[in-house]
Structure formats: C-alpha cells, structure tokens
C-alpha cells in the first residue's frame, strides 16, 4: 500500500484495548454471549478462557481485521503486550486471531513474524512495559517508529511512545443503542484507524517519524478529553472501514452532540413581596 523502507512496530495491550474481559458471574448475561453476538453481528464472536479458576468471556470491538490489515499493509509488525500471565494471553489470541483473519492468513502472517505475544514475565522490575525488548533492529525497526497502545498510559516505560485508546472498560456490551455514550468504546477501531491513516497517508510521506508526529499533534499526552479530535479520528477511521464494510455505523454519537446551553437567569426581574 505504501512504499517506504522503514519498518514500524505497533504493540497492543489486550484488556481494555483489544478486548473487554468479564467473568461468568460478573454480570447477569441473559444467555450471553450468544445473545450478545446476535445483537452485535459486526463484532467478533466472544472468546471464553478459563483464567485463574474462573471462566472469562472476552468481547471485541468491531472491524479489528480492517485495522490489523491496514497496519500490515503499511510495513507494520503487530505485537501484543499484556500484564496478564502468558498462557492466558497466548490462548486468547490463538482463539481470536484465526477467526478474525482466517486460518491460512493467520498462519502465514505468524510465520512472517506477526503477532508476537509478551506478558507479565516481560515487564520491567517496576512493572512497566518497555517495548525496546520487542524492537528488532535487524529488521530496520527502531523506537522512533514504535508505539504502545494502552488504556492506561502510565503502564508505559519512559522510553516507550504510548497513546491512550477509548477504553473498552467503559463499553456497555448489553446496550442495544449504538448511539448511546455507553457504546462509544465500540468506535475504538475507528479511532485508531483514523490516527494511523492520518500518519501513514500524510506525515510519513514527509519523512516524519511516528514518534515526532505523535509529539507534534499531542498524542503522546492524554488527549482523550478532546471530543473534537476524537470525533475527527473516528470519522476518518469509519471512512476506511466503510471501504470494506459499507454498512459500518458511527457508535456513541451522543458523546459528540452539542450540550444544551444552561438557562440564563441574569435578565429575570426580582419580585418583592
């Protein structure tokens, strides 16, 4: 898709970024996850993993296949870094990725070095995620073009560029109203796609590194209190998704509706009795 000699490393956290895990007894599911999938056909089928003696269902936002395929087409190597224990992370992704991408494509991409998994044993002594241990300098990767995607940016080591997502932890997975603010995290894929489309289709072509660009637009800081920016990125990502899925919709529109002005009382007359 984009001719460039540079290689990029994009590292995803799992919980709150790629999936929302919930234990079997945490919510009254009403035949969930079957009912969930019937009501959310655009979302991947939830994955159940036995973790620490409890069954957890992992729910995924829509269209992650578009996000991953776009990144791979832009010379990105995708990896995952979760502070959970290794077998949970590996088992979850082995269940999820083949269903998302298809068995043969998943196997091909994995053979090409995609989808490496890093876990709690790879954290720094102070329990931070340092993605310098993932960078493959022999493959023309470097920290200036590497990025960690987190719902909790404080988990990133000081040398690790990090952006914050619309955390899936805020997603009401049982909501039937896609315009409600509780469904805004379903737009996480659009949001991330918009960010990468902005970089790879514009800034990268000017020779700017990913790290430089993130700093220039303030994405290396917590920018998720800026609804206008979030909306811009979501709509840009949505356009990219609609190239493959024309029926894709905008989630969480209520978040972006202008607030009604408060009633002004300054001009009212005071009446004495």
Residue 82 CA to residue 84 CA, distance in Å, equals 5
Task: Describe the crossing of helices 86-101 and 64-73 by its angle, rounded to 10 degrees.
Answer: 90
pLDDT over threshold 50, residue 141: yes
Of 53-57, 94-98, 213-217, 248-252, least confident by mean pLDDT is 53-57
**Hey, how many other C-beta atoms are within 10 angstroms of the C-beta on 142?**
17
Rounded mean pLDDT, 27-38: 68
Residue 84 CA to residue 232 CA, distance in Å, equals 33
pLDDT over threshold 60, residue 92: yes
Higher pLDDT, 217 or 28: 217
Rounded mean pLDDT, 1-12: 76
At 260 the pLDDT is 61
The CA–CA distances, whole Å, from 197 to 76, 185, 194, 247 equal 13, 19, 5, 20
Task: Describe the crossing of helices 227-242 and 188-200 by its angle, rounded to 10 degrees.
Answer: 80
User: Are the CB atoms for 199 and 213 separated by under 8 Å?
Assistant: yes
What the chain holds in terms of domains, given with CATH numbers, is 8-254 (3.40.50)
Reported as a single tens digit per residue, the pLDDT across 109-132 is: 999 999 999 999 999 999 999 999
Rounded mean pLDDT, 158-182: 91
């Amino acid at each position: 898709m984009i001719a460039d000699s540079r290689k990029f490393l994009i590292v995803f956290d799992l919980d709150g970024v790629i999936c929302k895990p919930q234990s079997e007894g945490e919510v009254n599911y009403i035949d969930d996850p079957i009912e969930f999938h019937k009501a959310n056909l655009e979302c991947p089928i939830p994955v159940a993993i036995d973790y620490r003696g409890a069954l957890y269902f992992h729910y995924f936002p829509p269209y992650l296949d578009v996000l991953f395929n776009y990144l791979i087409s832009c010379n990105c190597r995708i990896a995952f870094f979760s502070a959970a224990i290794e077998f949970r992370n590996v088992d979850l992704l082995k269940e999820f990725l083949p269903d998302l991408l298809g068995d043969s494509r998943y196997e091909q991409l994995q053979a090409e070095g995609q989808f490496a998994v890093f876990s709690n044993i790879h954290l720094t002594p102070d329990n931070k995620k340092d993605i310098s241990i993932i960078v493959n300098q022999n493959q023309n990767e470097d920290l200036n073009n590497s990025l960690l995607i987190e719902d909790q940016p404080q988990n990133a080591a000081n040398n690790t560029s990090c952006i914050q997502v619309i955390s899936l932890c805020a997603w009401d997975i049982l909501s039937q109203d896609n315009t409600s603010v509780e469904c805004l995290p379903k737009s996480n894929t659009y949001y991330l796609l918009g960010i990468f489309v902005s970089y790879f289709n514009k800034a990268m072509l000017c020779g700017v590194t990913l790290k430089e660009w993130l700093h220039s637009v303030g994405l290396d800081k917590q920018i998720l209190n800026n609804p206008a920016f979030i909306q811009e990125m979501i709509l840009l990502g949505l356009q990219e998704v609609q190239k493959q899925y024309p029926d894709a919709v905008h989630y969480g529109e209520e978040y972006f509706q202008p607030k009604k002005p408060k009633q002004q009382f300054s001009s009212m007359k005071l009446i004495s009795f």
